[in-house]
Amino acid sequence: MSYKINWITVALLAYLLTSCDNQKSKVSVHQLWVFGTLVEINVWADDAQHIQPAINEISETFNDMHHQWHAWKPGRLTEINQALRSGKTVHLAKEELSFIQQTISFSRQSQYLFNPAIGELIHLWGFHSDEYPILTPPPTEQEIQALTTQNITVENLNINDQSISSNNTNIWLDFGGIAKGYAIDIAVGILHKHQIKNAIINAGGDLRSIGSKGGIKNKSPWRVAIQSPNDRSMVAEITINGDESVFTSGNYQRYKEFNGQRYAHIIHPETGLPVDNIISATVIATNGITADAAATALVVAGMQWPEIAKSMQIDQALIINEHQQCYGTKAMISRLENLSISCQIID
């Protein structure tokens, strides 16, 4: 699973912890790990006794998901991939089927630029690794073309009731472009189950908020900061409106480097080459899985991102290209506060 590392950071800054001392005492901060990423959960609650059981359940769930959906280490997804690549049919649990069907839907909406079926390409480039930067040589043009000419997509999957198979033995499912969004949504569901109404979950810079912070008299929204992919300076701040997800995909941190050439870890499924036009894409959506898939697709889309955003029904997106030029939808730019760079509205 080729996980994304982002520069959009939850900068709760003064917004979370510099209000009155009474407010500070009611913010509970918890840290967990999933998919190689530190997850911070900030919970506002007048009664904290039911917070820890929720955190324990999220921790157990994250641990199970890590082993379930890892694309190249032993686990359930590896079992599924091995079966598909052997021409076999796999029976899926209902939860597995639902998740895979969601990824298929997002892939189609993105015109297959979000493509969870190209794990073989990702592996070919050496990005099925936890150690970065990667210093081995890039694959040859012939090796890349051998895969891209097959046009492997989710359409090579066949789902019949709760069974899945594939007509291409080079298919390799890799959900790294959507896993954190899925995990955060599951975590929010657990918080709701435990009647926790006000929290913000930040997984390596990708986040989803619910409710607000502060008591009834001091109620205020969560706020976050977007950092520049170039030098980590603040690009802008955003006030979160209740239940929203803010996700960023970028091509600037995980990479292969060889003979002075840098190759980003996000692969264009049509060319088989690392993307280099868009440095980062930030998306706001109602849930994490949508924002995660869309952010990945917009980076791959390059300057055709407005078309893909519309296709995926995304109206809030912010793009920074390799020339440090900023573009965004009207709905997104209208929400940015303390903007430090010039951004052109594209709708």
CA-CA distance, 23 to 338, in Å (whole number)? 25
pLDDT for residue 164 is more than 60: yes
Mean pLDDT of 195-214: 89
- For 217-226, what is each residue's pLDDT tens digit? 677 888 888 8
Inform me whether the pLDDT recorded for 24 exceeds 50: no
> Residue range 18-47: average pLDDT?
73
- pLDDT exceeds 50 at position 139: yes
Q: What is the mean pLDDT of residues 20-36?
A: 70
Q: Is the pLDDT of residue 324 over 90?
A: no
Distances (CA, A) of 234 to 50, 203, 277: 35, 19, 21
Write down the pLDDT at residue 4. 40
Position 217 scores a pLDDT of: 62
Cα 172 to Cα 178: distance, rounded to the nearest angstrom = 15
Q: What is the pLDDT of residues 272-297, one digit of tens each?
A: 999 988 989 999 999 999 999 999 99
What per-residue confidence (pLDDT) applies to 246?
Answer: 95
Position 319 scores a pLDDT of 95
> What average pLDDT does the chain have?
87
**26-30, 40-44, 315-319, 339-343: which is most confident:** 315-319
Mean pLDDT of 157-182: 96
121: helix, strand or coil: helix
Q: What is the pLDDT of residue 16?
A: 39
Spatial contact of 314 and 282, defined as CB atoms under 8 Å apart: no
Range of weakest confidence among 6-20, 241-255, 292-306: 6-20
Q: What is the mean pLDDT of residues 200-215?
A: 87
With cut-offs at 50, 70 and 90, classify the pLDDT of residue 2: very low
Which whole number is the average pLDDT over 303-330?
95
Those residues with Cβ within 8 angstroms of residue 198's Cβ, 6 or more apart along the chain or in another chain: 43, 44, 45, 210, 211, 212, 213
Percent residues over pLDDT 90 in the chain: 65
Alpha helix ranges (H) inside 40-132: 51-69, 76-84, 94-109, 119-124
pLDDT at 221: 87
Whole-number pLDDT of residue 150: 97
Residue 240 has pLDDT above 50, yes or no: yes
pLDDT band at 230 (very low <50, low <70, confident <90, very high): low
Residue 13 has pLDDT above 60, yes or no: no
CA distance 327 to 310: 15
Q: Residue 64: pLDDT above 70?
A: yes
Domains and CATH numbers, the chain: 1-347 (3.10.520.10)
Q: Is the pLDDT of residue 3 over 70?
A: no
pTM, entire model: 0.90
Reported confidence tier of residue 19, pLDDT bands at 50, 70, 90: very low
Position 46 scores a pLDDT of 67
Question: Can you read off the two tokens belonging to residue 134?
Answer: 């990667």
